[in-house]
Chain A
Amino acid sequence: MKELGRRLPVYLVVDTSGSMAGEKIESVRQGIRALLMDLRGDPTAIETAYMSVITFDSDARQSSLLTDLMLFKEPVLDANGTTALGSALKLLIECMDREVVKSSSSRKGDWKPLIFLMTDGQPTDSWERAAEDLKKSRPANLIACGIGSDADVNLLKKITETVVKMENIQPDAFKAFFKWVSSSIKATSQSVNTQGNAAVNIPPPPPVIQIVP
C-alpha cells in the first residue's frame, strides 16, 4: 500500500569535518535520534516522509540511504578531516537523481525533497559549480544552517535563499534546531498531502536560530 503513496524525501546533509569534533558532533548525533523519535510519533510523517543522511568531511558519502522512517538507521557520525562541501552537494544531486521518483504520465512522482544542510566552517574544495546547479534548477527546498561563528552564511546564500544561523553552539541550541527540523518535516508532510508541491510549510524558527536575510 505504502509504496504507492507520494513520498516526501528528506535529506540531512551534515558536516562531519574535524571542526565539528567533540560536543558539536555529539549534539548532532542526539539531534538526529530525537528527530527520529519525534517523527515516528506522527502518523502523517510516517506515511509521507522518507529520510537519508549525507555526511561530508574529506569526502562525502550517503551514510543512510533514503528509507522510510521505521527502517531508517542512524548513521555513524565521526568527525575528522576537512570540509568537502562541493563533494557533498554533488553527491546530493546524484542521490536525488537516483532516489527521487519523477512524475510521469502514468505515475505521480515524489513530493519535492526537503533538505537540511548543516556546516560549521569554510569549504575546503571547489563547491561553486554544484551550488550554482542546485540554486538554478531548484530540485528541492533547501534550508542551510551555519553553525557557530566560523560558518560563512554569505557562501550558504549562494546555495539557497533559505539560510539560518545558529550562533550559540550549546547542546540546547542543537536540540531546538532539530525540534524545528522535525516540525518543518511534519508540517510539510501534512500540507503536501492537502495542498500539493507548492506547499512547503516551514514554521518560524526558535529564538536560537536566526534567519539570514
Chain B
Amino acid sequence: MSDIVSGAKFKVGFKAMSGQGNFDISCFVLGTNEKILSESYIIFYNQKQSPCGGVILQGPEGGDSETVSIDVGALSPEARKILFAVTLEGQGISTISKGHMRFIEDGQEKARYEFIGSDFIGETALIVCELYLKDVWRLNVVGQGFVGKGLEYLITMYGGEVELPPVPKGLSPTQLITQALRKTGLVQTIIDGTPAGSHLVLGPPVTSGEVKGPVVLQKQLIIEGRGATLWAAKGPVLLLAEDNLVVKNLLVEVTEDNSEIDEACAILVVPGKKVSFENVEVRGTVRGLPGEEGTWNYPKSFQLGLLGCQYDYSFTADIVVPVSCMVSTNVSGLSVEPLQLTAGQSQLLLHVKSGFFFNDTVLYGRIILETPYFRRSIIVCGHAVDAGLHRLVAQKKAKQL
C-alpha cells in the first residue's frame, strides 16, 4: 500500500454505471482463517461501520457513488484482510456497463482501477480488490466474479449467517427530501408561503382536486385535504420532516407501478418525527412509521362482471400485505373474508350471495384495507341481473380474480 498511499487513513471510492438498479459496496474484514471476525465485521448498507471504526461506508462523495473510509491504524488487531465486493440488487454484475475503484488520500486521487461488467456475464457478485496484511498492508486487485446469489452468497462464504434485515434501502430521508425539493410545483409554493402553525387547505377552490406532488413539509402545519388527491408518478409523494404535523382527509397516491423502493413510496416520514394522520388513504408504500413499512401487492380494482341474481359466486384474489390490517367492504350484498389479514401473502375471498339482488342492480364500492394509520382501497364493480332474462350471464360461479 505504501507505494499508493503514504498514511494509514485513506478512502476507497467506487462508481458503477448500471442500466438498472443500484449497486452496493460491501466490505468483509477477515481474520487469519479467511473468515469474518464476527458478523459485525460485514460492513454493508444495513451496517455501515465496523466496531473498530477502521472501515466506514460513507455514501456518495466527490463524484463517487460510494466511498469507504479506511483507517488501518484503527482496525481490530485480529484483522488480516479487507475484501471489497460489488453486488447489484437482483441483477447480474454484467448489467454494469463500466465502473471504477480509486484510492483517495487527503482529497487526492492516488490510484484508479477500471472494470467493465461484460467481463462478468452471469455473475451476481464481484470482489473488486482486497487489502491484506503481510508485514505491511498490501493491495491485491482481484476482479473475481461469482455466479451465486450476490451479497447473501458472499456472507455465507465468509462465515456469516444470511439474515439481511428488511430495513428499507434506497436513498436516505435527507437525500429524498433534497431530491423532492427539486421537483416540487405550485402547491409547494403555497406551503412555503403559509406560516408555521396554521391550517392549509388543499383541493377546490385553493387547488384542483388532483394536486401534483411531491410536497415537502418542513414546518408545523395542519394539512386539510378535503378529499383531494396528492399524486406523483414516482414517489415519495408526501415527505414529512417536522414534528406535530397533521394530515387530514387526503388521498396520497403513486400513480405508476414502481418496483424501485424510493419510487414506490407514497409517504415518507423522517424517522422520529411525530406526525398524525386522520382519514388518509394511500396507494404506495409508507416509510419511516414503525408498523407501516413494507411492500403491498393488491389489485386496484375487482371487476366482477355480469352476475346472475339467483346464483352464489365466490371470487378469490391473492394479495400481499406487509403488516396486519382490517378488511371491510361498503358494497352491500358482498361479503369479504378474512376480516383481518396478517402480514404476508393471503387469499381474499369475495362472496356474492344468491337472492340478495333484484334484477339489474349495479354493484359498486370498495374493499377497504385498514392499518392503524392509513386506509387502502380496492374498487369493486359488477352488475347483477336475472340470469333467466339475460343471455350474457355465462361466467363461472367460482373464479380467481
Contact = CB atoms under 8 A, between A and B. Distances in A.
Contact of B204 (A22, A63, A65): A22
A59 interface: yes
Q: How big is the A interface, by class?
A: 20 to 34
Interface stretch (A77-85, A138-146, A152-160): A77-85
B362 A76 contact: yes
B231 interface: yes
Contacts of B253: 58, 81-82
Interface in B239-282: 251, 253, 255-256
Contact of B381 (A63, A81, A82): A63
B75 interface: no
A210 interface: no
B209 A18 contact: yes
Summarize B's interface: helix, strand, loop or mixed.
strand
Interface string B351-382: 00000000010101000000000000001010
B229 A82 contact: yes
B73 to A, nearest CB: 54
Interface in B285-315: 300-301, 303, 305-306
A75 interface: yes
Contact of A18 (B210, B362, B392): B210
B333 to A, nearest CB: 14
B300 to A, nearest CB: 4
A65 B383 contact: yes
Contacts of B203: 18
Contact of A61 (B228, B229, B283, B381): B381
Task: Indicate the member of B209, B210, B229 with the most A CB atoms within 10 Å.
Answer: B210
Contacts of A20: 209
A50 B190 CA distance: 48
Interface in A29-44: none
A166 B365 CA distance: 30
Contact of A80 (B227, B300, B303, B381): B227
B208 interface: yes
Interface in B192-213: 203-204, 208-210
B101 to A, nearest CB: 37
B205 to A, nearest CB: 11
B233 interface: yes
A3 B87 CA distance: 62
Given A19-B208, A21-B209, A61-B301, A76 B229 contact: no
Contact of B300 (A58, A64, A74, A78): A58
Contacts of B255: 58, 82, 84, 124-125
Nearest to A21: B209
A193 interface: no
B390 interface: yes
Given A65-B305, A124-B233, A125-B255, A19 B209 contact: yes
A7 to B, nearest CB: 13
A150 B91 CA distance: 42
B210 A124 contact: yes
Given A73-B362, A80-B209, A126 B256 contact: yes
A78 B364 contact: yes
Contacts of A61: 301, 303, 379, 381
A63 B210 contact: no
Q: Which of A64, A80, A84, A126 has most chain B Cβ within 10 Å? A: A80
A76 B256 CA distance: 25
Contacts of B208: 18-19, 121, 150
Nearest to A66: B392
Contact of B364 (A76, A126, A150): A76
A17 interface: yes
Contacts of A81: 210, 229, 251, 253
A71 B390 contact: yes
Interface of B: 203-204, 208-210, 227-229, 231, 233, 251, 253, 255-256, 283, 300-301, 303, 305-306, 360, 362, 364, 379, 381, 383, 385, 390, 392
Which 5 pairs show the lowest CB-CB distances between chains A and B?
A18-B209, A59-B300, A76-B364, A124-B255, A19-B209
19 contacts: A18-B227, A18-B228, A59-B301, A65-B383, A71-B390, A74-B362, A76-B364, A78-B364, A80-B209, A80-B227, A80-B229, A80-B251, A81-B210, A81-B251, A82-B229, A82-B255, A83-B210, A84-B255, A125-B256
